[in-house]
Structures are given as structure tokens and as C-alpha cells.
Amino acid sequence: MARPTVAVLVAGIIVVVLPVTVVAQDKYPSKPIKIIVPLIAGTVNDVVARIVSETLSKDLSAEFTVEYKPGAGGVIGSDFLAKSPPDGYTLGSLNSSALTNSPAITPNFPFDPINDLTPIANVGVVQTLVAINSGAPWKTLDDFLSHAQKNPGKVNCGTTGVGTSGHFNLELLKMATGAQINHVPYKGSPENITALLGGHIDCASQIWPAVAAHVKAGRLRVLAVSSQVKEYPQIPTFAKLGLQPVGLEVAFGFYGPAKLPKEVLARLVPAFEKAIKKPDTVAKLEKTGFSVAYEGPKELGERIRKELAIARDVAKKAGIKQE
């Protein structure tokens, strides 16, 4: 009896191996999925990651863990994600500021936010706004800007730091109106809001979650907001006041490293959409002052491209550089 040739043996091996490979791909996920949060615990990135992954773990029958990698305003964790293996087991809960504002003001930025990441789903946004102390004399944004124009260089507006969404929106407001308003950077929202409440600054360029409790308590008043706040439809948007593109919002979404396999995305994208749109998920997120606005991979990618272009233009015109 003739012995089998090498070719026959190889063919036999191929027949056995290929089905195993296909089965392995079909079984994704087959181990825990890690979500990188590039800020500290308790931030919006963290809250979004935990609320959404709670539903995802049931739909995908997989365990999700959160790993914190804070530093440089979210850049360190985002860079870690960009350099992770593209196997679907390391994802990130990132905000748009780290992918648009930071690259716009940082020479030799460590990764390309467009080409080194795979957008999966945008969960939603937090509105940006201009707030003043309730005891201030200005009733409208027009009143405030009129005061600033009559007192050039004497009006101070606080933000949570150089290159933040608040800073970029303040510069956009100045460009759109010609008002000469001084930028006063703080280490974070608590310090910024405390200064506003104490009358040490005239306004704050902030996000809704940072001021919501104070607005409800009657201590602060919002003059304009990037998009309508459900509980306060009377607050005008910047666009309604003719001040677009003032009001760049901070978008919070999920990303993976570049070149995620198609079969992985085929599992992740519909699962994320289902989890984000689930009424229970929406209710939990809205309690934090978050505005749910799902976007798929294409829409999220286009958002980042658009906002990165705006940020680079603002940084150049306003001379914003990394501290």
C-alpha cells in the first residue's frame, strides 16, 4: 500500500485547521474585554463606560473590566488604546477633547486620532455653555457681551484649563463677537465654579454637568448653551443666537485600536447601538446630566474629523499652545 504524499498530508491539515479558525472568530468574545478610561474614577468617561458595559456584558455574554490610565487630559490613556493589539479585547471610553483639542495644541502628538483609532459608537454629549452668577446684572448673553465690548480687557471668564472645551468655546465666542474677554484657567470645574459663585470672575465657559446643581438651586444662570437642555428649554442655544460654531460639545464614545477585524466590529457595533439606546441606559445616563445621542462608526469618525479641523483653526488664530 502506497504511503500518503506530503501534499496529501498538508491538504488534510488544511481541512482540519480552517474550520477551527472560523469557529474561533465566530465565538468572539471568548475572554474578558478591557475598557480603558483615560481619566480618574468618577469622571464622565468612567460613568459612561460602566453604565454601557453593564448592558453589553449581558448582550455579548462577556465580562467587561475598567482600567484607569489617567494623565495629560486623557491623552496617555488614549495613546495606550491606540497602541494596543487590534483584537477587540481592549476598547476605550474616550472624550472628543482628548482627540481634537489636545492634538491641535500639542507638538509631536503621540498618535493620530483619525488613523490610529477605530470609532465604534458615540454615546452622547455634554452641552457646553456660558454661565454667570445669578446676582450678576446681565439677563441675556447679548447684555453680557455688550458689557464686555464696553469694557475691553476688564471682563474675566473661567475655564477648567488651557486647551479644554471651555477654553476653545470661549475663543470661538470672542472671534464671533469681537469681545475682549480675559481667559482665566483653573485646575478643574470645582475651582472654576467656586470662583464664579464667589464673584471672583464674571463668567464661566463650562459643561452642563458642572453647573446643573447650581442652576437648579438658583445660584447660577446659563446665558447660552450648545444644544437644548431638556429641563430648561428656555435657555437659548448659541446657534439660535446666531453664534454658530460657538458651542463645540464634548462627545463621549467608544473606540478600538486601528484595524479592528471586520468580524469583531460586526459583533460590537450592533451590540453597542442596542445597549446605548436601551431606555434603562438612557435614563441612567441622563441622571448624570448627560445627553444621549447615539452615532455609529461613520458618524463618530466624521464628528472627530470636523472638530479636529475647527480646533486646529482656533488654536492657530488664538495662539493656544500646550502649557
- Segment 136-172, tens digit of pLDDT: 999 999 999 999 999 999 999 999 999 999 999 999 9
Q: Are strands 203-207 and 128-133 parallel, antiparallel or unpaired?
A: antiparallel
Q: How far apart are CA 298 and CA 60, in angstroms?
A: 22
Q: Is the pLDDT of residue 24 over 60?
A: no
CATH assignment of the domain containing 202: 3.40.190.10
95 forms beta bridges with 252
**Span 113-130, pLDDT tens digits:** 999 999 999 999 999 999
Q: What percent of the chain has pLDDT over 70?
A: 92
**Span 81-119, pLDDT tens digits:** 999 999 999 999 999 999 999 999 999 999 999 999 999
| Residue 323 located in a structural domain | no
Amino acid (one-letter) located at 146: S
| Residue 281 located in a structural domain | yes
Q: How far apart are CA 115 and CA 152, in angstroms?
A: 42
Q: Are strands 117-126 and 291-295 parallel, antiparallel or unpaired?
A: antiparallel
Element (H, E) at 313: helix 297-318
Are residues 88 and 138 both part of a single domain? no
| Residue 17 located in a structural domain | no
Q: What is the mean pLDDT of residues 197-202?
A: 97
Q: What percent of the chain has pLDDT over 90?
A: 84
Lowest mean pLDDT among 96-100, 251-255, 288-292: 288-292
| Residue 234 located in a structural domain | no
What are the backbone angles phi and psi of residue 146, rounded to the nearest 5°?
-60, -40
Residue-level pLDDT at 303: 96
Q: How many CB atoms lie within 10 A of CB 224?
A: 24
**How confident is residue 265, by pLDDT bands cut at 50, 70 and 90?**
very high
- Among 225, 242, 263, the domain-final residue is 225
Q: Single out the residue of 61, 3, 73 nearest to residue 32, CA to CA.
A: 61
Q: Are strands 90-95 and 33-37 parallel, antiparallel or unpaired?
A: parallel
What are the backbone angles phi and psi of residue 91, rounded to the nearest 5°?
-120, 175
Q: Is the pLDDT of residue 257 over 60?
A: yes
| Residue 157 located in a structural domain | yes
Are residues 149 and 217 both part of a single domain? yes
| Residue 280 located in a structural domain | yes
Which residue's entry shows cell 456660558? 130
Number of compact structural domains in the chain: 2
CATH assignment of the domain containing 313: 3.40.190.150
Residue-level pLDDT at 22: 40
Q: How far apart are CA 76 and CA 71, in angstroms?
A: 5
Residues written for the chain: 323
Cα 265 from chain centroid (whole Å)? 20
Q: How many CB atoms lie within 10 A of CB 207?
A: 25
Domain with 203 in it: 128-225
Q: How far apart are CA 212 and CA 191, in angstroms?
A: 15
Q: What is the pTM of this model?
A: 0.85
Give how far Cα 289 sits from Cα of 21, 60, 65, 168, Å: 45, 28, 24, 21
What are the backbone angles phi and psi of residue 42, rounded to the nearest 5°?
95, -10
Are residues 138 and 118 both part of a single domain? no
**How confident is residue 26, by pLDDT bands cut at 50, 70 and 90?**
low
* 139-161 burial code (b ≥16 CB/10 A, e <16): eebeebbebbeeeeeebbbbbbb
Are residues 140 and 191 both part of a single domain? yes
Residue-level pLDDT at 323: 67
